[in-house]
Amino acid sequence: MIKRMIIMLFLCALVLGGLFGFKMYGKKMMMAHMAGMANPVHTVSTINAKPTDWQNEIKAVGTLRAAKGSDISAEVVGTVEHIFMESGQDVDEGTVLLQMRSADDYANLQALIAKTRLAQLTVDRDAKQLKVQAISQATYDTDIATLETLKAEVEAQKVLLEKKTVMAPFSGRLGLRKVDVGQYLAAGTPIVTLQQMDPIYLDFFVPQQDLSNINVGQKIMARTDAIAGQTFEGEITAIESKVDEATRNIQVRATFKNQDKTLRPGMFATATLAQGTPQRYLTLPQSAITFNPYGSTVYVVKKDGTDDKGRPVLKAMMAFVKTGLTRGDQIAILDGIKDGDEIVTAGQMKLQNGSLVTINNNVQPKNDAAPAPVDK
């Protein structure tokens, strides 16, 4: 009996010890699980803050305009007899573009010339007769007035004949022809567009507070999405004399050389003007900044010892920063971090101060100082 009791007590102690050990192990595992949930490891991407040259710039969008441009039209009525131009042709000043039918007008000119010659003979005869008082002074004066009137009509008829020939008022490139041979034209009917494309103007507006940073002769760069990947250099040639009262902006005109006629009137372009001397700022992608009412913050990744496998433990520590100007995807940092600090650029929305992180930089946010749209 005693032996049986000893065995039973031993078995009970063994069972109770096992239950106690299992309970303690489960409690330990639960605590470890809860600790892992309280401070999980988050995956983030990072970048090292570094100084870059930062050129303050003024950007504006404007419209390209021809140095000279007009819609050519006839000043008088008539029927088109000959066309000497082609759509899209480059022409010089004085080039004949179109001839209107003028036979009747030429005949009228010859008749007026004949009447003028007769009137001249009459005046010459009157002068001789006036000397011998064969005619009155009034008759002589009337014949002179008739002669002068006919001379004026001859000149007017010559001008009318000249207007029947339409010529290019300046050198440039023609647009699409809008008339055909045999078409009757009323005065002012558009015939073709003529644009002088070299040089070419860019007109744009800037806020009045930037006026002190803009001067005639200042260099300017322009880009247009119609000609991808190409930058054009020009200079400011004129500034409007007054500020627009509605917008408080002022209009500026820049001039660009355009010998190859690449730029065309009517295109829009983005103008960039350098402002002041270049500065060096620590630069980060704008996505790295968390903007809050109480201040702007970033997360700085710092090492906090090693784990049981000898790997570094990384923690994300919140830091307040003072931000400056922006350009493209970038933002300047004036204070709060130092050169070389590793800054979280993506994934910071799930972080808290002191969160454990692991770094994966396979995908990075945009960090372009002058991003351009990409057609897909």
pLDDT at residue 370 tops 80: no
* Whole-structure pTM value: 0.61
pLDDT at residue 140 tops 60: yes
Q: What is the pLDDT of residue 33?
A: 46
Query: To the nearest whole number, what is the mean pLDDT of the chain?
Result: 86
**Greater confidence, 304 or 216?**
216
> What's the CA gap between 319 and 353, in Å, rounded?
9
**Minimum mean pLDDT range among 27-36, 128-137, 270-279:** 27-36
Domains of the chain: 40-54+279-359 (2.40.420.20), 58-66+197-274 (2.40.30.170), 102-163 (1.10.287.470)
Q: What is the pLDDT of residue 329?
A: 85
- Region 204-231 average pLDDT: 88
Q: What is the 8-class DSSP label of residue 128?
A: H
Instruction: Find where tokens 């096992």 sit.
Output: 18
Reported as a pLDDT band with limits 50, 70 and 90, residue 233 is: very high
Reported as a pLDDT band with limits 50, 70 and 90, residue 375 is: low
Neighbours of 7 (CB within 10 A): 10
**Minimum mean pLDDT range among 30-39, 85-94, 161-170, 305-314:** 30-39
Of 363, 357, 330, 327, the closest CA to residue 342 belongs to 357
> What's the CA gap between 356 and 348, in Å, rounded?
12
pLDDT in tens, 144-158: 999 999 999 999 999
**Greater confidence, 316 or 21?**
316
> What's the CA gap between 229 and 234, in Å, rounded?
17
- Region 188-215 average pLDDT: 90
**Minimum mean pLDDT range among 143-157, 214-228, 359-373:** 359-373
pLDDT at residue 51 tops 80: yes
pLDDT in tens, 3-41: 676 777 766 767 666 665 655 655 555 554 444 445 688
Burial 183-214 (b: 16+ CB within 10 A, else e): eebeeeeebbbbbbbbbbbbbbbbeeeeeeeb
Of 105, 48, 42, 44, the closest CA to residue 76 belongs to 105
Q: What is the pLDDT of residue 324?
A: 86
- Region 63-82 average pLDDT: 91
Reported as a pLDDT band with limits 50, 70 and 90, residue 212 is: confident
Both tokens of residue 311? 């790997």
Q: What is the pLDDT of residue 36?
A: 47
pLDDT in tens, 78-131: 999 999 999 999 999 999 999 999 889 899 999 999 999 999 999 899 888 888
CA 324-328-371 angle, to 5 degrees, is: 165
Both tokens of residue 270? 């983005």
Q: What is the pLDDT of residue 32?
A: 47
> What's the CA gap between 198 and 361, in Å, rounded?
49
**Greater confidence, 349 or 114?**
114
